[in-house]
Chain A
Amino acid sequence: MSDFIQSLDPRIVRLQVREDQPFEPKEAGDQWETYEVFHQAKTGARLIHVGSLHAPSPDLALVFAKEQYGRRSTTTDMWVVRTADIFTLHRQDIDMFETAQEKLHREPQGYMEVRKYIEEFKKRQQQEGTSDGSEAGSH
């Protein structure tokens, strides 16, 4: 169509929207796949999931990850993983975690009790020890 300006300037090219033709639907897989990005802020720290991005390959995913997730904070390492390579449970099976909080015997309170007994025992021992010592000294 001659009524559109022909130019190499991408700002012009982008504007060539043909209103007389409907947009063709995109094919499945038309877009690049997604990668999940993990970021480490300090040596030895855990790598934390910080988000995702589109990339056509792992090397470009790392190139993009550096700018999207590593440009502001300190970075000691970065991982990318294809979203498709991450496995999870089916949504409908998540209810298997439902009663987890009810199982009090799995909570660590019991250990805190033991700790209390140990401390009480130590205190008692110490008290007995010091009273023995002071008596010996006064004689």
Chain B
Amino acid sequence: MDPKQEAIKELLIKMADDQLIIGHRHSEWIGLGPILEEDIALASIAQDKVGQSYTLFQLLHDQFGTADPDTMGFLRAENEYRCCHLVEYPNGEYDFSLIRHFLFDHAEYHRFDMLQASTFEPIRGIARKFKSEIKYHILHADVWVRRLGTGTEESHQRMQAALETAFPLALGIFEPSPYEQVLIEENFFPGEDALRQRWLETIQPILEEASLQMPDPSSVEPAYGGRRGYHTEHLAPLLEEMSWTLRYDPEAERW
């Protein structure tokens, strides 16, 4: 396959993998959220993420002949996934889940905003649609981060600690692809560096309003590796659980 096609394919796969895995993590909170209303809100966000991932796998299938969305989503080997480490981490407590959701969704919003102007035409309409969903995800995350960052002493300390844990992982979102140059030259996508810049400019003022101290990105070692198939020990058990039903009964159409 020519490098232009490879570049887009690589970009789409990592986007779809991020969404599928974070969607699955969010879904693990269903029935356990702090209050019914919040449970419903996060469950709905989880559903959006998995749905977006499905759309991208379908696009990959149609445009590049990859396997069908179920096979791509559930039946690849662990090292064939291209998600970043941020999305793989266990939910931990609600503070970490919220901060991760906040850091991830602001990056997603800008990524799809940039892709709306892509010269890879099939992604444009999808990006526009995704953005309207992610707008809600951001609203949800921002309200909580502001509130808990400025809430009680305990809530502030928890959010700050969660931010410090999640921040290096979040920088791993922007691990450069081997195709950065092609993506930029062909105007498929302005590149991970440009995205990272926009992301930092967006989250910094919100964190400030929330009285949270953003770690200095230049002093933090980003958690790279996920985009090349090197994952944390948390991904394999997640995949096993996520694909259990499909492996158990591949012919099942309904449960």
Cβ A57 vs Cβ B147 within 8 A: yes
Cβ B92 vs Cβ A8 within 8 A: yes
Cβ B143 vs Cβ A67 within 8 A: no
Contact of B236 with A by CB under 8 A: no
Q: Quick one: which of A8, A53, A54, A71 contacts B90, CB cutoff 8 A?
A: A8
Q: Which residues of B contact A (CB under 8 A)?
A: 29, 32, 35-38, 40-41, 44, 90-93, 136, 139-140, 143-144, 147
Q: Which residues of A contact B (CB under 8 A)?
A: 8-11, 14, 32, 53-57, 59-60, 63-64, 66-68, 71
Cβ A63 vs Cβ B44 within 8 A: no
Residue of A nearest to B139 (CB): A63
Interface of B, helix, strand, loop or mixed by DSSP: helix
Residue of A nearest to B40 (CB): A67
Bound-complex Cα distance A71 to B147 (A): 24
Cβ B147 vs Cβ A56 within 8 A: yes
Q: Quick one: which of B36, B92, B143 contacts A63, CB cutoff 8 A?
A: B143
Bound-complex Cα distance A60 to B144 (A): 8
Known contacts A8-B93, A63-B139; is A68 also within 8 Å of B37 by CB?
Answer: yes
Bound-complex Cα distance A123 to B93 (A): 79
Q: Quick one: which of A9, A53, A71 contacts B37, CB cutoff 8 A?
A: A53
Contacts of B41 in A (CB 8 A): 63-64, 66-67
Contacts of A53 in B (CB 8 A): 37
Cβ B35 vs Cβ A32 within 8 A: yes
Contacts of A60 in B (CB 8 A): 143-144, 147
Cβ A63 vs Cβ B140 within 8 A: yes
Cβ A54 vs Cβ B37 within 8 A: yes
Known contacts A59-B143, A67-B44; is A54 also within 8 Å of B32 by CB?
Answer: no
Rounded to whole Å, the gap between the CB of B182 and the closest CB of chain A is 39
Known contacts A8-B92, A59-B143; is A64 also within 8 Å of B32 by CB?
Answer: no
